[in-house]
Amino acid sequence: MRATIKHKESLYTVDFNAPIDISLPLKDGNNNPEAWYLKAPKIEPVSDKKWVGKVSEGADVNFNNIWFNPHAHGTHTECVGHITEQFHSINNSLKTYMFKAKVISIVPEQRNEDFVLSKKQIKTFFKPHQAEALIIRTLPNTSKKKTRQYSNTNWPYLTEKAAAYIRRCGVQHLLIDLPSVDKEKDGGELLAHHAFWNYPNDTRFNATITELIYVPNAVKDGDYILNLQIASFENDASPSKPVLYRIL
């Protein structure tokens, strides 16, 4: 179904029958991307001595418990409550769900022992006020990202200056295909998180960061409409389902 939608002061034509899902599904076991030194998520039927919540074992319904951590197991969206002493909920921070977005692809550059996404690199591909949402695909982009075990790998990360530049460009929603916008082990500084949310000086309570996405290679860099959906968790982060639509 093609439709013309009005967003802000602009009109965009999109095909709602051709969604591009850039989330990673949460599965039982190790066939997930995992980070932060946690064990794999579990999805298993409720069980007691008399009953197992599984139709194949005689139950009327399938009735599963799920154990996972949104930050460690798959695509998730977080608000500034991720780094604040005070409680802030992603469910209260994200109140609209359709955004003009831009996809960019970057090869991280090496700095000593690290690989980073620098302000200079971001500035090459993204200019102020081009979009409300910025989607960063790191290169090389292989399907191994769908199940990569990230703990103790020192993954690439955004520099503080890059995150501040993205904020100054007017980006409200930042999406990236890594477990964090920050360095895995940085002594708790979380410089990119602080810079993007402008915390604590003039905190952007409605801005979000989405991590562990996967943008297929068939998706070209450029402009899209983003539909960003979360589960209604009263928590700093929630599993999420970002979906892109090409602008026709």
What are the tens digits of pLDDT across the range 204-213? 999 999 999 9
- pLDDT given for residue 8 in this prediction: 78
Overall average pLDDT of the 219-233 stretch: 97
Overall average pLDDT of the 155-184 stretch: 98
- How far is residue 59's CA from residue 48's CA, in Å, rounded to a whole number? 12
With a cut of 80, say whether residue 186 has pLDDT above it.
Answer: yes
With a cut of 90, say whether residue 5 has pLDDT above it.
Answer: no
> What is residue 244's DSSP assignment?
E
What is the pTM assigned to this prediction?
A: 0.96
Neighbours of 126 (CB within 10 A): 18
- pLDDT given for residue 155 in this prediction: 98
- pLDDT given for residue 59 in this prediction: 95
Overall average pLDDT of the 34-62 stretch: 96
What are the tens digits of pLDDT across the range 14-36? 999 999 999 999 999 999 999 99
- How far is residue 230's CA from residue 90's CA, in Å, rounded to a whole number? 8
Cβ–Cβ < 8 Å for 198, 167 = yes
pLDDT exceeding 90 applies to what percent of the chain?
95
- How far is residue 46's CA from residue 115's CA, in Å, rounded to a whole number? 43
- How far is residue 219's CA from residue 15's CA, in Å, rounded to a whole number? 15
Q: What residues have CB less than 8 Å from 38, skipping those under 6 apart?
A: 69, 72, 73, 151
- How far is residue 239's CA from residue 64's CA, in Å, rounded to a whole number? 17
Per mean pLDDT, which range of 1-10, 172-181, 197-206 is the poorest?
Answer: 1-10
Overall average pLDDT of the 53-82 stretch: 97
- pLDDT given for residue 10 in this prediction: 84
Query: Pick the residue with more confidence: 194 or 6?
Result: 194
- pLDDT given for residue 9 in this prediction: 78
Overall average pLDDT of the 39-56 stretch: 95
First to last CA, the chain: 12
- pLDDT given for residue 4 in this prediction: 81
Q: Quick one: which H or E segment has residue 231?
A: none
Overall average pLDDT of the 110-126 stretch: 97
Phi first, then psi: give them for residue 114, nearest 5 degrees: -110, 165
Cβ–Cβ < 8 Å for 60, 221 = no
- pLDDT given for residue 244 in this prediction: 98
What is the pLDDT confidence band of residue 1, given thresholds at 50, 70 and 90? confident
> What is residue 144's DSSP assignment?
G
Distances (CA, A) of 178 to 11, 14, 32, 210, 227: 32, 28, 13, 9, 20
Q: Give DSSP secondary structure letters for 35-72.
A: -TTPPPPEEEE-B-SS-BS-GGGT-SS--EEEE--TTT
Cβ–Cβ < 8 Å for 173, 205 = no
**For the chain, which domains are there?**
2-24+77-246 (3.50.30.50)
Residues facing residue 222 across a β-bridge: 103
What are the structure tokens assigned to 76, written together?
């998730």
